Amino acid sequence: MESESSARVLAISCDPDSLGIARDCLEAAIGVALVTVEGGPGALDALRTENPSVVLLDISAGGIDYAEVAAVTDRMRTFAATVLIAHPRDLNRAIQYVEQGAYDFIEKPIDKRLLSLALRRAYQHVSSVRFARTYDRLVEEAVEEKTLELVQRKDFLAGILNSSTLVSVIVTDLDQNICFWNRGAENIFGYAAQEMIGTKVTKLYPDDPSSRQTVETLQHRVHSKEHSVHGKMRQVAKDGRLLTMSLAISPMLGASGEVRGILGIGLDVTEEARLNQELLKSFQLLKETQDVSIFSLARLAESRDEETGMHLTRIQHYCRALCNQL
């Protein structure tokens, strides 16, 4: 914001007396620079180039209308106030201009004290308006910068989450409505993000008492601000397939520590679970086959050697113990 010593007043008048009084007032009262110009196109050019703080317009001898001045000052980058000089016959027009936006008016013959006061008040008004505009602009720039920073951070985090195409990342609010659905969730469950945002996360769980009880237990533990809950759960894909998901569910806390939402990170371990189940079945079958084979061999040995006696039972128990250790 400019100081008083760097302020500039543009006086538009064809009356030498008015310009002389204005010059005396400015030099004696506030010591600002004065630029004088007669009316007409030259006055409008001076408005654009001089960037004045205050325009002193003689509407009785300025050769230019206030509306023309206002049309230029309204488009100026910085604010300027207009003080009018009016002949008594032009008072009604001066009042009309003030109603349209002019700051003040002085009646001819000019009283130096009133003109000095009007110019000082006009300059103070300009300073206040320019300060407010500068403050608003700085606040707006700060908000825009912060908003851009938050948007960039959000996009960065979303990019990270969406790059995890094999891991589902799902965020819900406290009413279990889905707020975020990454590409990994799209790949695993078959639902696009626009299909799931706003829907209940319970859509992903089988409709049976066991699943409902598990979901309620997890929700209660997370709402109690416990640490992440880990476990395996059955979930349902869009095509109806039952999936085995390894889940980590965590509360999302606000600045005051309150639970704002729930973050769920999941990995599809359906194939791993199937292979483990097949391996378990194969191992169980192997144990049963070993039991039968060992028992048959023991029976054969006993039938060939009567002296083995009760050794058959001991051999059977020993072999079963070995199988259990496997």
Asked if 312 contacts 298 with a C-beta cutoff of 8 angstroms, the reply is yes
- Mean pLDDT throughout 88-96? 89
Cα distances (angstroms) measured from residue 278 to each of 7, 45, 60, 66 = 89, 91, 104, 93
Listed residues 91, 114, 135: the one ending a domain: 135
By DSSP bridging, strand 8-12 and strand 33-37 are: parallel
Whether 312 is covered by a domain: the verdict is yes
End-to-end CA distance of the chain: 87
Looking at mean pLDDT, say which of 123-127, 146-150, 175-179 comes out highest.
Answer: 175-179
Tell me which residue has tokens 């300060």.
131
Whole-number pLDDT of residue 179: 92
- Mean pLDDT throughout 90-104? 89
Confidence category of residue 125, pLDDT binned at 50, 70, 90: confident
Whether 140 is covered by a domain: the verdict is no
Looking at mean pLDDT, say which of 111-115, 120-124, 185-189, 272-276 comes out highest.
Answer: 185-189
| pLDDT greater at residue 34 or residue 162 | 34
Q: Pull the structure tokens for residue 53.
A: 């703080």
What region does 225 belong to: left with phi over 0, alpha with psi -120 to 50, or beta? left
Q: Residue 249 above 80 pLDDT?
A: yes
Asked if 294 contacts 307 with a C-beta cutoff of 8 angstroms, the reply is no
Q: What is the rounded distance in angstroms from the CA atom of residue 250 to the CA atom of residue 233?
A: 15
* 10 and 121 share one domain: yes
* 16 and 125 share one domain: yes
Looking at mean pLDDT, say which of 26-30, 114-118, 134-138, 184-188 comes out highest.
Answer: 184-188
| pLDDT greater at residue 5 or residue 81 | 81
CATH number reported for the structural domain that contains residue 176 in this entry: 3.30.450.20
Nearest alpha-carbon partner for 216 in 199, 233, 240: 233
Whole-number pLDDT of residue 64: 79
Q: What is the rounded distance in angstroms from the CA atom of residue 3 to the CA atom of residue 5?
A: 5
Whole-number pLDDT of residue 132: 81
Whether 149 is covered by a domain: the verdict is no
* 83 and 18 share one domain: yes
Q: Is 28 helix (H, G, I), strand (E, B) or coil?
A: helix
Whether 157 is covered by a domain: the verdict is no
Whole-number pLDDT of residue 254: 78
* 14 and 131 share one domain: yes
Please state which of the ranges 34-43, 130-139, 291-300 shows the lowest mean pLDDT: 291-300
Secondary structure of 199-225 in the HEC alphabet? Answer: CEHHHHCCCCHHHHHHHHHHHHHHHCC
Nearest alpha-carbon partner for 123 in 85, 160, 83, 94: 83
Provide the domain limits for residue 66: 4-135
Whether 156 is covered by a domain: the verdict is no
Domain count, the chain: 3
* 173 and 232 share one domain: yes
Q: What is the rounded distance in angstroms from the CA atom of residue 316 to the CA atom of residue 319?
A: 5
Listed residues 240, 268, 296: the one ending a domain: 268
Whether 240 is covered by a domain: the verdict is yes
Q: Residue 296 above 80 pLDDT?
A: no
Dihedral sign (CA 66, 71, 75, 76):
negative
Whole-number pLDDT of residue 141: 83
| pLDDT greater at residue 189 or residue 247 | 189
* 11 and 93 share one domain: yes
Whether 31 is covered by a domain: the verdict is yes
Whole-number pLDDT of residue 2: 47
* 128 and 33 share one domain: yes
Q: What is the pLDDT of residues 300-325, one digit of tens each?
A: 655 555 555 555 566 666 666 665 66
* 257 and 191 share one domain: yes
Whole-number pLDDT of residue 195: 94
CATH number reported for the structural domain that contains residue 34 in this entry: 3.40.50.2300
* 240 and 286 share one domain: no
* 11 and 127 share one domain: yes
- Mean pLDDT throughout 215-228? 70
Q: What is the pLDDT of residues 150-194, one digit of tens each?
A: 777 777 776 766 666 788 999 998 888 999 999 899 999 999 999
* 264 and 284 share one domain: no
Q: Residue 1 above 50 pLDDT?
A: no
* 247 and 288 share one domain: no
Whether 115 is covered by a domain: the verdict is yes
Whole-number pLDDT of residue 139: 82
Secondary structure of 35-53 in the HEC alphabet? Answer: EEECCCHHHHHHHHHHCCC
